[in-house]
């Protein structure tokens, strides 16, 4: 599975390690991802999402259903990519 937030679409970006002598080597800046289980009351089941810290704040602010619908509308998430646990 790739390192992409399923709510915000954040992904790894490329940057440089800069040493004291200012030599530059490539590195990755990975997003702060968590694999979290959420109860989805609309479908009466538990789902598992890979979300960033910012994605968790969005879910807390607007709710799980609205956040998922917004991500699907934006094209970040497909309904078939949501892992249903039980």
- pLDDT by residue (tens digit) across 50-59? 999 999 999 9
Residue 1, pLDDT score: 56
**Cβ-contact 64, 7 below 8 angstroms:** no
In sequence order, which residues have a C-beta less than 8 Å from that of residue 23 and are 6 or more positions away? none
| Average pLDDT of the chain to the nearest whole number | 94
Residue 86 pLDDT? 72
Global pTM reads 0.85
Q: Which of 1, 7, 72, 83 is nearest to 45 (CA)?
A: 83
Q: What is the mean pLDDT of residues 5-34?
A: 97
Q: Are strands 45-52 and 83-84 parallel, antiparallel or unpaired?
A: antiparallel
Q: What is the DSSP pairing of strand 24-29 with strand 45-52?
A: unpaired
User: Looking at the predicted structure, is the pLDDT value of residue 25 above 60?
Assistant: yes
């Amino acid at each position: 599975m790739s390192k992409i937030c399923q709510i915000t679409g954040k992904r790894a970006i490329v940057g440089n390690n800069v040493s004291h002598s200012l030599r530059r080597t490539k590195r990755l800046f990975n997003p702060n991802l968590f694999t979290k289980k959420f109860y989805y009351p609309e479908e009466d089941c538990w789902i598992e999402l890979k979300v960033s810290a910012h994605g968790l704040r969005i879910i807390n602010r607007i709710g799980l259903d609205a956040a998922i619908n917004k991500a699907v509308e934006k094209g970040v998430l497909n309904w078939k990519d949501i892992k249903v646990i039980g």
